[in-house]
Structure 1
Amino acid sequence: MLPKKPTDSSTEQHGFDEARWVINLQKSLDVELEEHDLEEVRVSIYTVPKALMCSHPDSYTPHRVSIGPYHCLKPELHEMERYKLMIARKIRDQTKSFRFHDLVEKIKSMETKIRASYHKYIGFDGETLMWIMAVDSSFLIQFLKIYSSRKVEALINRVGHNEILRDIMMVENQIPLFVLRKTLEFQLGSTDSADDLLVSVLTGLCRDLSPLVIKFDDDEILKSQLQDYNHILDFLYQMIVPRIESEDAEEEEENRADDNGENRASRFLQEIKIQFNRVFASRSADSILRFPWRIISNLPGFIALKLSANYLFTRQENEATATRQESSSAAIPDMEKPPLVEELTIPSVSDLYKAGVRFKATINGNISTVTFDSNSGQFYLPVINLDINTETVLRNLVAYEASNTSGALVFTRYTELINGIIDSEEDVRLLREQGVLVSRLKSDQEAAEMWNGMSKSVRLTKVGFLDKTIEDVNRYYTGRWKVKIGRFVEVYLYGSWQIFAFFAAVLLLMLVSLQVLSLVFSYLRLLRLRTG
């Protein structure tokens, strides 16, 4: 693929001219990739979709440090560049044989693979890009080494530490994981030692930043799978989100089988309906069936009841028609605007709790542990950790999934589920008391606002096991007697207040009339007594 010619703005920013661009073009054409390199090259570091960037830009734009080429020349991040150089000098002084020029030469052989990892065109020349990779990877490893000993508490109170953590978990602030491996291998002199330290650093970092309490595999298993992870954010994503490709295929086959059975049953019922209509569609049968109804409906007391029933059912029918029209109009895609997240039809935590649903935490579980037991009313959810870094991590996981995944957006659907059941601080309090949510934020209201603010998505999605859980919860909720009585009162009492107001007015008029008649008869009686 030909490199894109830099625009005028990028030329002014990086100091490139057309002659240098031609030279870089010739060099990129002269580079030959081995066959196995072609298979490994894949885009993994994306720019945030505009629909998400516009909704909350602070969660996707680094504030303290730039990692990689996307944000390295921003003036507001220049202060950390000096800190990076200080770290580089420290590493050089600690290791006498370490020379950054040698590290740059080592990384230079992967230049084409590095460029292919970025979705956006990189305007830097090869030497500049390699120095960025060498310095940033060394800084990143040195910064994260504290997690290898799992002594994170000492860093929590350090000024700017959490801001740097949020920056290194952003979609646009990533460098390929194979660059980190190559840098560690060069520093330690051993591939096994580099993989051991890298796995230890990644697991320690994810334990501190993961929004879900997850259980990591054995270190040896993770070491054997390091080539499957694209970068730090991708490592956290794959630890949280289950792979459900094979499960989806099985569910689709089961759904087809169920659909076939449902189709046979529906055809059988349709045939019965046709035969029933043939028998009772004649005029004589119709007259016989309607005769009792004509007598009853003409009774004086039944006329008012019939008018009320007609009003009630006509109103419900109109509301149902309006709802269908709204849903059909919402189904028409609007190409001018990015689609909003679909509002889940699921009650809040407090409503579910009042209906008898109890929430249970699944310890050390990922999203695949989200289930609902219809028999016992137990709603199983993985433990959620909330702190000042959680919102940024959640949003960037959603953005990365939207850019990297063409299939179902599993993590996005999970955030929609939590957003659907959390409406207020009362919902957060109930989840916290039942052990599903661990919050280090200032208040439950802040936690509720954080989840309610995550309502933007690039496209709508469906996930089999999550949608089944939502369906089971709704079926259980609507089947409870408390809910049925409450809905009956809401629909037939509160929803029909005009009818009751009419009957109340009629009753009041009758009472007033009776009182007037009583006064008239009393007056006539007194008059008779006086005349008698």
Structure 2
Amino acid sequence: MVSSDNSIASSNGSLLFDERRWVTQICSTLEEEVEEGVQIPVSVFSVPKTLLSIKPEAYNPELFALGPYHHWHPQLYEMERYKLATAKRTQKQLQSIKLRQLVEYFIKKEHTIRSHYHRHLDFNGETLAWMMTIDASFLLEFLRNYSNAKGKVFRKVPTMSHMVDAARMKLAYNCILRDIMMLENQIPLFLVRKILRFQCPSYQSADKELSNMLIGFVKEVSPFKMMENFSSIDVRRHAHLLQLLYLMIVPNAKEASETIDETEVHIGIPELNDTKPTGNPSYVKKFFNSVWSQASGLQILGVLATRPIKFLVKIPWKIISKFPGVSILAARVAKLFFFQGDEKSEDEDSSNEPPLVEEIMIPSVTELSNAGVKFSATKGDLTTISFNSRTATFHLPTVSLDVNTEVLLRNLVAYETTVESGTMVFTRYTELMNGIIDTEEDVKLLRQRGIILNRMKNDEEVAKLWNGMSKSVRLTKVGFIDKVLEDVNKFHSSRWSVKARKIMKTYVFGSWQILTFLAAMLLLLLTCVQAFCSVYRCGSRRDNVTNLG
């Protein structure tokens, strides 16, 4: 009985302790908010479950934790000794203060640190300050690998030399790089700036050195090579590394975002004109495809489009279209012959409406190339995406893909989904690439044009990467990308070969009734020819002509 009372008392004691700590944290937070009077926007969110469920390994750190979200995970705690080693070296490099004084400064900035995180941090102020001091020291030492200094800090330290070598080919280096760029593994950059400030004579020199590190880092990890002439980075404008990289790739859009009201929609890029046939006439399809491929090279459609042929066709067409069965094809075939190319798309009337899933449809690279579209690489950010209808040229930024790119792309999408309130430009770009890349042949064509720089195993791996980027996100209009999608689809749909294939696929190959009707008409025609020849003796007349010759 006594033991049970003691256990109840101890449990009540721990509960009382938790309540007191909670009250203390709340009071401290409220007092600091009143004192500072400055609202700091949240920049580190948890990855949405809809994204996390698709590929959790792309969002959970593999080697080490930065910040509070994954700090106590047992599988990551082995790296703490390496982070402590960097903290010791940081202590030696501090000019006028000791590491303990730096921690005390971070304790005073507890509210600022907590404000960056969306999730509640169940740490007291001192624990959080020590954690951030050690993690910021580790991050600063890693970033020094990208400064203009010749020496590589990690290589100078025996316990850290296995992480980074001259060629940066070590497995551990790639793991660190991926972990650093994960959304839930971000820490505020002002902590790194403060440590560097105590190692440099002034804020100006500290900011210049940190700017050089960040420029080198972004040039190294960014899949888009658009920073050749970038001179400096204002460290104070960026909350953390992932936000910095995002803003380098996606400059602030001026257009207002138009978002579907908190609706999650599964974004898929279906095939254009993907109409299911009612039958499976495979042998007929092969025959018509063979005939069409031979006829397409003879410029027959160019002849059919001339005015005399149109006039000759138009007169009997009104009569022929009255026959049973032919009326089904009347509208489509009329478009094939009499299309003027100046009719407006229905999508133009709804250009201001929120986007639907169907509006993301776009043909693959192979299909566009077969329709006459040319691809051209640009050396810039995502705002360089465009389509020139006059030259049929699709402009896309060059993207470099390696073993770290998928994690980077997914976390940029997660950051944009959770943090950025404007248009989801980067997400729309990934949907565009998802749509135009279906197979390794599509990747090969883009690689030959310099749009994709493939540093992965093969083109098939790249195709799998982009095809795996389909996910559930909120839909939003991105004006210039939506205009490109519309122009590309309009150009592709206006091609004669595409129209004819669509008609044959939808109304001929997809309907046994039409095939039966055509067979009956052919049989009727042959019967008429046979009857005509039986009356007028076609064979004997041919023999007479041959004998006269």
- What TM-score comes out, normalization by structure 1 length? 0.73
Matched letter for residue 145 of structure 2: I
Q: Distance in 1 between matches of 2:53 and 2:17?
A: 30
Matched, 1:237 2:252: no
**Cα distance in structure 1, aligned partners of 2:252 and 2:15:** 41
Match of residue 193 from structure 1: 205
Q: Distance in 1 between matches of 2:21 and 2:208?
A: 41
Which is richer in helix?
A: 1
Matches within 5 A, 1:148-297: 148-149=147-148, 154=166, 156-215=168-227, 218-220=230-232, 222=233, 225-245=234-254, 247=255
* Residue in 2 that maps onto 1:85: 84
- Post-superposition Cα deviations, 1:481-521, rounded to whole Å, max 9, x if no partner, equal 332333343344423443233442575589799999x99xx
| SS of residue matched to 1:405 | coil
User: Could you tell me which residue of structure 2 aligns to residue 454 of structure 1?
Assistant: 469
TM-superposed deviation, 1:107: 1.8
Equivalent AA in structure 1 for residue 25 of structure 2 = N
Contact 2:84 2:134 in 1 (8 A): yes
- Tell me which residue corresponds to 1:292: none
State how 1:109-508 maps to structure 2 within 5 Å: 109-149=108-148, 154=166, 156-215=168-227, 218-220=230-232, 222=233, 225-245=234-254, 247=255, 306-312=323-329, 344-363=360-379, 365-504=380-519, 507=522
Please say if 1:26 is aligned against 2:40: no
Greater shift, 434-443 or 483-492, is seen at 483-492
Which SS does the other structure have where 2:198 is aligned?
Answer: helix
Q: CA deviation at 1:463?
A: 0.4
Q: Is the 8 A contact 2:95 2:199 kept in 1?
A: no
CA distance in 2: counterparts of 1:377 and 1:411, whole angstroms: 24
Q: Which amino acid aligns with 1:128?
A: T
After superposition, give the CA deviation of every residue in 1:196-232 in whole Å (9 maximum; x if it has no partner).
1211121111112112112266434x2xx32221110
**1:125 partner letter:** N
Counterpart of 2:361 in structure 1: which amino acid?
Answer: T
In the alignment, which residue of structure 1 is the partner of 2:546?
none
1:76 alignment partner in structure 2? 75
Identity within the alignment, %:
48
Which residue type is aligned with residue 164 of structure 1? I
Distance of 1:514 and 1:209 partners within structure 2: 73
Unaligned runs of 5+ in 1: 1-10, 250-295, 317-332, 334-338, 520-532
SS at match of 1:120: coil
Contact 1:340 1:455 (8 Å CA) reproduced: no
- State the 1:85 CA deviation: 0.8
Report the secondary structure of 2:486's partner residue: helix
CA distance in 2, matches of 1:22, 1:40: 22
Change beyond 3 A, Cα 1:16–1:397: farther
CA–CA separation in structure 1 for the residues paired with 2:204 and 2:180: 25
Distance 1:429 1:386, change over 3 A: same
Taking the aligned partners of 1:14 and 1:92, their CA distance within structure 2 comes to 38
The one-letter code of the counterpart of 2:91 is R
**Higher mean displacement: 94-103 or 409-418:** 94-103
Partner Cα distance (1:207, 1:15) in 2: 52
- Evaluate the alpha carbon distance shift between residue 110 and residue 231 of structure 1 in structure 2; reply closer, same or farther with a 3 A threshold: same
User: Once the 2 structures are TM-superposed, how far is the Cα of residue 188 of structure 1 from its aligned partner?
Assistant: 2.3
SS at match of 2:144: helix
**1:445-495 C-alpha deviation (Å, 9 max, x unpaired):** 110010010011321111001111111111221222332333343344423
Distance 1:483 1:185 in 2: 63
Shift in CA distance, 159/489, structure 1 to aligned 2, threshold 3 Å: closer
Cα distance per residue 1:1-31 (max 9 Å; x no partner): xxxxxxxxxx9x9997223223333333443
Counterpart of 2:185 in 1: which secondary structure?
Answer: coil
Count of residues in Structure 1 that have an aligned counterpart in Structure 2: 431
Question: Cα deviations across residues 414-447 of structure 1 (Å, max 9, x unaligned)?
Answer: 1111111111101100000001110101010110
TM-score, with structure 2 as normaliser: 0.71
How many Å separate the matches in 1 of 2:101 and 2:357? 49
Which AA in structure 2 matches 1:240?
I
- Could you tell which deviates more after superposition, 41-50 or 384-393? 41-50
Query: How big is the alpha-carbon RMSD for the aligned residues of Structure 1 and Structure 2?
Result: 3.5
1:177 deviation in Å?
A: 1.5
Letter in 1 for 2:86: I
Does the 8 Å contact 2:93/2:199 carry over to 1? no
Residues 342, 460 of structure 1: 8 Å contact kept: no
The answer to whether the 8 A contact 2:386-2:396 is kept is yes
Indicate the residue corresponding to 1:256 in structure 2: none
Q: CA deviation at 1:163?
A: 0.8
- Structure 2 CA distance for aligned equivalents of residues 394 and 433 of structure 1: 22
Q: Deviations over 1:327-371 (max 9, x none)?
A: xxxxxx9xxxxx9976722111111111111111111x1011001
Partners of 1:340 and 1:457 within 8 A in 2: no
Tell me the CA shift for residue 103 of structure 1.
1.1
The CA deviation at 1:312 is: 4.9
- Structure 2: how far apart are the matches of 1:358 and 1:14? 68
Describe the SS at the equivalent of 1:160: helix
Structure 2: unaligned runs, 5 residues or longer: 1-11, 151-163, 258-315, 334-353, 535-549
> Is the 8 Å Cα contact of residues 508 and 514 (structure 2) preserved in structure 1?
no
Is this contact kept in 1: 2:107–2:129, CA < 8 A? yes
